[in-house]
Amino acid sequence: MFVSDRRASPAVAPPRGRERPRIEARADASILHADLDSFYASVEQRDDPRLRGKPVIVGGGVVLAASYEAKAFGVRTPMNGAQARRLCPHAIVVPPRMSAYSEASKAVFEVFRDTTPVVEGISIDEAFLDVGGLRRIAGEPLDIAQRLRARVRDEVGLPISVGIARTKFLAKVASAVAKPDGLRLVPPSAELDFLHPLPVERMWGVGDVTARTLHEHGITRIGQLADLGENALRGFLGPAAARHLYALSMARDPRRVETGRRRRSIGAQRALGRRARPADEIEAYVHGLTDRLGRRLRTADRVCRTVVLRMRFDDFSRATRSRTLAEATDHTDTLLRTARQLLADAMPMIEERGLTLIGLALTNLDDAYAVQLTLPLEPRATNTLDTTLDDLRRRFGSAAVTRAALINRGEGLSVPLLPD
């Protein structure tokens, strides 16, 4: 049995200032990672029989999803639509239907929660499920996973891949290896045999930059990383990344499947294509993104402290700019004022490098009721412009009221999310 790199401590509250005791990893493979295959494209193929078995691309300017038939030609998300059509000229391009994807997600999560009460949603198309306590009433985890896949296929009409392992990390890797429409069990006795031959890109925390660094040092497989050891990794990855990646390479991941977790951040973005956009048009899109995120904050009774501007440029490089506010807020004007200042500061870079995507994220979230109140000591006034606009949009749709700057430009796609 593998455990965390520190010996597990008794479950008592640690003295103030000391490290929390680490949670001991379980001994059996009873964590499921369930991941719908090419979710948007699968919903389109389910709803239109003419698309089944055909290469399908969801989204025009930017690829939001691609069927496995299209992926076979190299189409990936979020690839530029023109590039995707060059790779797969006979692909069928369909517009996204966000409401259909949201309904399909709700139906799948009903199956998840009917399988086990311990469900941790990651996104609208994937979740972790803990089935360790269901043996007496539902059988072994492998049997539960097989029934889960059959129910999603029969009741919702969608393919789903499931990984089963002792840890969340291994379960997620197993589901990715099982794709498309597969099932993979990683027994505790075979964890390293399964994990070590895989490329380092399979590991959480290994993006393009880290992968490039590892490759430069001759490390392409997880087993090579494990053989090198944590001390050697520190020299070119730093202590935190070295500790994290070495632990994963040895199948150490004591995190539990948690229910009721709230988001740490929310975000929205808008693809712009490669055509040059004037500054006022970009600013209009930032207005729209701010309105959308402010509405989501208030609906979830959250407030935020940090506003993050995200940019992708014509050479596919990315950059972010952020600002932390003095007080947490859900006030749209405050958020917009901060976002506009970030955009103004970044505008010289945008003009020089060209902008293909603009995004906004709100981080350092907290519950609205946890914030210290100011006079007149009301948690949230009910007669403000924000609440009036929220009510109108809730009753008549998100496009019922829009900013003048967005007329003829639209608010862009709103991607469905799990409830917060």
Residues 6+ apart with CB under 8 A from 337: none
Lookup: tokens for 4: 């965390």
Q: Is 314 annotated as a binding residue?
A: no
CA distance 181 to 179: 5
* H or E, element range at 324: strand 318-329
Q: Which residues are catalytic?
A: 126
Q: Is 227 annotated as a binding residue?
A: no
Residues 6+ apart with CB under 8 A from 156: 104, 107, 108, 111
C-beta of residue 61 within 8 angstroms of C-beta of residue 277? no
Residues 102, 154, 415, CA angle at the centre, nearest 5°?
15
CA distance 126 to 36: 6
C-beta of residue 235 within 8 angstroms of C-beta of residue 177? no
C-beta of residue 321 within 8 angstroms of C-beta of residue 341? no
C-beta of residue 192 within 8 angstroms of C-beta of residue 179? no
Residues belonging to the binding site are 35, 125
Residues belonging to the binding site for Mg(2+) are 35, 125
